[in-house]
Structure 1
Amino acid sequence: MADYQMNPPVLQKPPGYRDPNMPPPNPHPPPPPPLASRPQPQPPSMRKTAAGMPPSFRPKRKRTNFFKSCCCCLCITLVLLVFLFLVATAVFYLWFDPKLPTFSLSSFRLDGFKLSDDPDGASLSATSVARVEMRNPNTKLVFYYGDTNVDMSIGSGNDETQMGDTTINGFRQGPKNSTSVKVETSVKSLLVDRGLAKRLASKFQTKDLVINVVAKTKVGLGVGGIKIGMLAVNLRCGGVSLNKLDTDSPKCILNTLKWVNLQ
């Protein structure tokens, strides 16, 4: 009688059985990625071109900001220019030791001072002659003066009366030089108020009459034969009486831009 090999019976898995070696099923599928992070589809031509090009020929994004680079270069240039200017200024001051010119009113007189009583009021006739002393204290620097317009007046406050104006030609003043500039103006039959005429005549007799000299000019600097710029300045001399001027030479006030006093 032949021997039959019997296979073990296959056991049926009970309902709900789960193999421990199998990964657990995911009951909830992951949510789709946000729209912004999804790769944007490219046109067919661009996809083919980018895919067909080797990596060395593919376009690269610029990482440097051109505007920031320009700003950095500009700032560095400005800093260097300011530094060089400061160094040049320091060397100039140490070598030349520059000083401003000085001005003083050395004399003032009224020639032919006459007040007449006319039917329409009083009239004034006189010639004003002033001398302004200009001094250059520098040993290596030269000053250049442009054409100078000079106005002269007498009296103060509401009694100030114009005595005419004139123009002096420009000139050059060398180092350690003192120059006396003569200024002359005149008025003839200038109508004035009778009350003002009496006050001017009284103060002229007692030498209490205040005189004023105002000049507008341009001053330039010369170094080794080189002329450096021309700065507009205002010069105001006087504001003192004739009596005080006989014993003193008051210094003049030098300013620029109408409010920056240089002296």
Structure 2
Amino acid sequence: MAEQPQKPVLQKPPGYRDPSRPIQPGPRPPPRKPAFPPSFTPKKRRRSCCRACCCFLFVFVLVLLLVVAVAFGLFYLWFQPRLPVFHLQSFRIPRFTVTTKADGTYLDAHTVTRVEVKNPNGKLSLFYKQSTVAVTFSAGHDEDTEVGSEDVPEFTQGMTNITSMKVETGVKNQLVDDGEGRKLKARFQNKELVVNVEVRSGVGFYVDGLRIGPLAVKVLCGGVSLKVLETGDMPKCTVTILKWVNIS
């Protein structure tokens, strides 16, 4: 009996997987973070809110400064505010004595000062806070000798008004340096004693009953001798306000 021919063995195609073999589980991919929708961005909202607030605040401050600048410009153009004018109207020394004793040299002096204050504004009134007027003597390049001070109560000054402040100061049995005492006595007798008057106050403006200010004011008058004062000339005073200097 003849043998039957054998069938050829079929080759397995590439990638063939035997269904009878158990499937090995592969490595799991790392868990992904949940994807939120684009509208859910809390951090961006906070940043946008902060930016909006900053922009609004910047614009508000800019507009406020602009309004203040315009208001100040209109106020200045309409009222044309000017500083008060100070003059040393008169100065007298009713009593001046230098006494040399065994324990030192003493000064006894009494002064009467009048400071003229003029309001040059035709549309504005002025008000002055409590003022302090101090008087000093100078006998050369040495330090000044203080001759007391007096406070002047606050007052109001009308438009184009002229006011005179009378101040009396003095010292009694004030101990001074021996050399300074001799210089003061000699210069007083020769009418070469130099007088200095300092006024410290605060000046503000009145606009329809509304107060604007005051600003700190320092006024220096004098720096001249008794001989010049006797001629009747009113010495110029230097007015200093907020580091701005005006010679009146």
TM > 0.5 between the two? yes
Aligned residue identity for 1:249: M
Counterpart mapping for 1:1-263 below 5 A: 41-42=32-33, 59-61=39-41, 62=44, 65-155=48-138, 156-247=140-231, 248-257=233-242, 259-263=243-247
Aligned residue identity for 1:234: K
Contact 1:153/1:162 (8 A) holds in 2 = yes
Give the CA deviation at 1:245: 2.0
Give the CA deviation at 1:217: 1.2
Q: Secondary structure at the match of 1:238?
A: strand
Task: Using structure 1 for the length normalisation, give the TM-score.
Answer: 0.75
Which of the pair has more CA radius of gyration?
Answer: 1
Contact 1:159/1:196 (8 A) holds in 2 = no
Give the CA deviation at 1:157: 3.6
Give the CA deviation at 1:119: 1.1
CA distance in 2, matches of 1:40, 1:249: 96
CA RMSD of aligned residues (A): 2.2
Residue-by-residue CA offset, 1:13-45 (whole Å, 9 max, x unaligned) = xxxxxxxxxxxxxxxxxxxxxxxxx99613xxx
Q: Secondary structure at the match of 1:100?
A: coil
Give the CA deviation at 1:221: 1.1
Aligned residue identity for 2:180: L
CA distance in 1, matches of 2:180, 2:132: 27
Alignment coverage as a number of residue pairs:
214
Query: Are the structure 2 counterparts of residues 67 and 157 from structure 1 closer, same or farther at C-alpha, using a change threshold of 3 Å?
Result: farther
Aligned residue identity for 1:119: A
CA distance in 2, matches of 1:214, 1:193: 23
Residue-by-residue CA offset, 1:148-174 (whole Å, 9 max, x unaligned) = 112111015424211011111111001
Residue-by-residue CA offset, 1:110-135 (whole Å, 9 max, x unaligned) = 11111112111221111011110100
Give the CA deviation at 1:211: 0.5
Aligned residue identity for 2:158: G
Give the CA deviation at 1:59: 4.5
Aligned residue identity for 1:41: R
Aligned residue identity for 1:203: R
Show structure 1 runs of 4+ deviating over 6 A: none
CA distance in 1, matches of 2:167, 2:222: 13
- Unaligned regions of 5+ residues in structure 2, if any? 1-28
Contact 1:145/1:217 (8 A) holds in 2 = yes
Aligned residue identity for 1:140: K
Give the CA deviation at 1:184: 0.7
Higher alpha-carbon deviation: 120-129 or 62-71: 62-71
Residue-by-residue CA offset, 1:165-218 (whole Å, 9 max, x unaligned) = 111111100101001111110111112222212211111122111111112111
- Unaligned regions of 5+ residues in structure 1, if any? 1-37
